[in-house]
Chains A and B, each alone.
Chain A
């Protein structure tokens, strides 16, 4: 009998609490089954805001040495062998045509529908990472992880702020808010089974741990029953809120019963709890965005290495970021490369009344500070991918080999348009996608929705026939 087919309620109510305990233990070690079968595949949505400056697009075309990274993409050189860069990528629908703005092109990049205009209502679509998580997330302890590095709330373009601050949407009305606090991410991953030293992986049950799990299960059982009982007394919209509550409680219940004991290969590297505890509008005077991104990247890498989750969404910054990247050393860009300018990046553009990164975007695509921030973001994406490439996974290669990272921004650049957006794929998803490839979409360009659909169907084997406006895959990116 497969214990996975036993629900907790069957155990507690059918067999009685006392009998349930031995069964609960058998839930714990699922290492063997998780290790068996095909290589684990992962999906990462890695977002940066405000589009890209001039000198983003590579030159040449095709695979291998027939194309060359651009000045802004230069920091991606170490991961070029894993990378596909696509030019002339955009949206076919309202996102392309409605003079779209930051927030809609942030949320819309991952759902390919146009989010609602109403600033008080979060309504978008279900995002690609969540569809993938629904398909594969059950194999890991956390179905998906949302992290980000913005510690300030930038202007939300008169729309619901979730469009600017969330790239994961579990349903059209459920943005999954990211965690920006490195300590909170760490705690979540550790609770999910990361960092467990090998000595704790033996099959001998610890009686205290078994009892603790039973108590937690019992508490959650009560919480579910209580909320379910309340539901009929509520109006329609509040009943929906209770549904959201119940589904979140059930997610935890699954983890409590089955606390992800499997550790993937040798690359799952335990680490200590980071000292950084940041929150929005609550950072120390010594706050440094580079430190923040570095620690968050390490945590995301740990999550994927240790198979705590297989789906990560990661916002390097929020849409329309007003953050001042004044800590960055400026660079001067030409068509052939860039050199240090000797002064730091400035804070925005007074003539437009716009601060920070966003202000620099609106200083135009030829603005060196705009390009410098892009360059740094590419460097951070590159470092993330390099760490996954350095995480071996036995015969299956590296974690990066089995991952697809969609790294890009929702809009083109200074012109705000949903046409020719910076868009790259890193990792081939187990050899399904091309590697070391650059191409430019013909005519109206490649559609984001087609690319997401291709990834879902071909990399993750999902039975989806449409996504947003798309019903066709994009064969150009397939190996």
Chain B
């Protein structure tokens, strides 16, 4: 996915400025004579706006764009907390919110138009427009879901906190609207809003509805309205560039949608009501609470599901003639393992520095069979550590090994490219045109699967035109050749050739197998994985593209975190000013 973050060769060729970073704003806000990409030297002492929760040590680091910055625990100079666009709920958030709001078993994710995925994620606020077809789906869904709610005596009392005695019982109507509104719009309604919605009810009654039907009309209208469909954050002065703290309800929504992909629960709404949520202690404690709750699975499936390719595996094609063992339960077991592996680093206490080397797997019966781990018969995954096999780290997961392969055989280049782009945030050039084909015409899937990919790939690499790129792209994939296109361990190709999983990385480090390859990538001197993880999570946490003015914040977080577990990294981002503040924009 990080492919989309990369500058393309076309950009370079055409001379077009690569501009996903919001450079103009950066220039506008840079302090003093500091330019867009120049060195920023902040020697200011502590005490300025000490609102961040980050550590107070002072240190210097170099960011991805080469900007030197100094971290002091206060907002770095030349920075900008920026703003997040009014954020339409994505399909998954919509489903979850309706579930929590009224027990609806909505299935928007299956029936609505698919969410736009930008910068690798379907949570980037900027990317969400609203087309007529989309609004129709929202409106019809609100209609249908509220009809279902009113036909369900088990669920209805949660919303109908009183029963209007007549078509003029506006007191009861107000009560229902006020209570439902707080949750549906994720903030208290104003008196004017409540009054207007009561009128929606009485208008419906005038059209022939009974009192209950009047309330139903108000509930439908609220679900079809902008404050439900979008997460709205209001700037006291919409045209001011001065940062201001988010309102407590806005912060509750940001936190809840980040970790649970749903509306704030009553605890968060309560802390928003008192205003306590905006304090460091309360925000930190609430993040801990959300992360330790089972609903954190929403964060895992959304963030890791997209970053680590597990959603791609859901759509990945495997050729059954080449892999008769492949089936749906195996696919699901792989996806589950990938997510559990991530969770091990999020809340399992494991350090991100072990991501390439941790000897831990989560296997159920089908996956244990694929891995050759004896004695596991359950459908539920079991955690297996320190196994004697040669499989280890993220690159040993069958999920990764499968989705980065072709449907009928391994593709070492694809595997290497995926790791470089997604885990190391490497900038790779696109392939040239008219690349010769490796599989001869008419090769069947079964034939291709059985053959020695390495030999053919090396023949290809011996061509001068191909060598330069492939020297970068291929070695990691070569080190994974002991695992076939569905991640099964092998020592021979089906044609009988022995597997050679040795390789030379750019820079000269050599390895013989996955264990040695993983150890090289995990060396403390190679900070790419930790840098890339930080940058990727920052995009996700803020649900917006990063600007050059984010570099100093990113460096601040990256340094304070320094490769602990991902829960700690998430906390750094949540406690950061970029998460807790926003600003207006020029008119």
Contact = CB atoms under 8 A, between A and B. Distances in A.
Given A214-B207, A218-B204, A353-B413, A364 B437 contact: yes
Contact of A119 (B5, B224, B417): B5
B65 interface: no
A353 B411 contact: yes
Given A99-B13, A170-B131, A351-B466, A179 B113 contact: yes
Interface stretch (B132-140, B149-157, B270-278): B132-140
Most buried by B among A143, A175, A191, A347: A347
Interface stretch (B33-41, B117-125, B521-529): B117-125
Contacts of A177: 113-114, 116, 131, 133-134
Interface in A111-157: 117-122, 142-143, 145-146, 151-153, 155-157
B110 to A, nearest CB: 6
A364 B411 contact: no
A96 B227 CA distance: 44
Interface residues of B, number: 109
Interface in A275-327: 277, 279-283, 285, 323-324, 326
Contact of A277 (B4, B111, B133, B430): B111
A349 interface: yes
Interface in A389-409: none
A422 interface: no
Interface string A22-44: 00000000000000000000000
Interface string B82-93: 010110000000
Given A99-B13, A227-B225, A245-B130, A119 B587 contact: no
A249 interface: yes
Contacts of B442: 330, 341-343
How large, as a class, is the contact surface on chain A? 35 or more
B85 A230 contact: no
A49 B586 CA distance: 40
Given A155-B3, A245-B130, A326-B445, A235 B407 contact: no
A251 B431 contact: no
Contact of B20 (A121, A122, A341, A350): A121
B290 interface: no
Interface string B310-352: 0110110101000000011000000000000000000000000
Contacts of A101: 8, 10, 430
A242 B407 CA distance: 44
A229 to B, nearest CB: 9
Nearest to A364: B434
Interface in B1-21: 3-11, 13-14, 16, 18-20
Contact of A279 (B110, B124, B206): B110
Contact of A324 (B85, B407, B409): B407
Contacts of A352: 413, 431-432, 435
Contact of B433 (A191, A236, A415): A415
Given A99-B10, A120-B118, A222-B200, A350 B413 contact: yes
B382 interface: no
Interface stretch (A158-166, A266-274, A443-451): A158-166
A219 interface: yes
A176 B444 CA distance: 39
Contacts of A330: 442
A208 B441 CA distance: 64
Interface in B156-210: 196-197, 200, 203-204, 206-209
B239 A235 contact: yes
Nearest to B441: A368
Contact of A222 (B6, B85, B196): B196
B87 to A, nearest CB: 10
Interface in A343-374: 343-344, 346-355, 360, 362-364, 367-369
A252 B225 contact: no
Contacts of B131: 170, 174, 176-177, 248
A175 B434 CA distance: 31
Interface string B20-31: 100000000000
Contact of B10 (A98, A219, A351): A98
Interface string A166-193: 0000100111111111011001100100
Interface in B253-312: 311-312
B126 interface: yes
A218 B221 CA distance: 9
A469 interface: no
B584 interface: yes
A360 B437 CA distance: 8
B379 interface: no
A161 B1 CA distance: 12
25 contacts: A17-B206, A161-B116, A170-B131, A173-B129, A178-B113, A181-B111, A216-B139, A219-B139, A223-B226, A235-B83, A248-B130, A277-B111, A282-B110, A346-B439, A350-B414, A351-B438, A351-B457, A353-B411, A353-B413, A353-B431, A362-B431, A362-B433, A364-B435, A367-B441, A415-B433
Nearest first, the 10 A-B pairs at minimum CB distance are A353-B413, A352-B435, A363-B437, A248-B135, A251-B132, A281-B315, A158-B8, A120-B545, A351-B438, A235-B585
Interface of A: 17-18, 21, 94, 98-101, 117-122, 142-143, 145-146, 151-153, 155-162, 170, 173-181, 183-184, 187-188, 191, 211, 214-216, 218-220, 222-223, 225-227, 230, 233-238, 241-242, 244-245, 247-249, 251-252, 255, 277, 279-283, 285, 323-324, 326, 330, 341-344, 346-355, 360, 362-364, 367-369, 414-416
Interface of B: 3-11, 13-14, 16, 18-20, 83, 85-86, 109-114, 116-119, 124, 126-127, 129-137, 139-140, 143, 196-197, 200, 203-204, 206-209, 217, 220-221, 224-227, 229-230, 232, 234-235, 238-239, 311-312, 314-315, 317, 319, 327-328, 406-409, 411, 413-414, 417, 430-439, 441-445, 448, 453, 456-457, 460, 466, 473, 545, 584-587
Given A117-B19, A216-B143, 18 more contacts: A17-B207, A118-B20, A120-B118, A157-B430, A175-B129, A181-B111, A215-B217, A220-B139, A226-B226, A226-B227, A235-B235, A236-B239, A237-B85, A245-B229, A326-B317, A353-B473, A362-B431, A415-B433
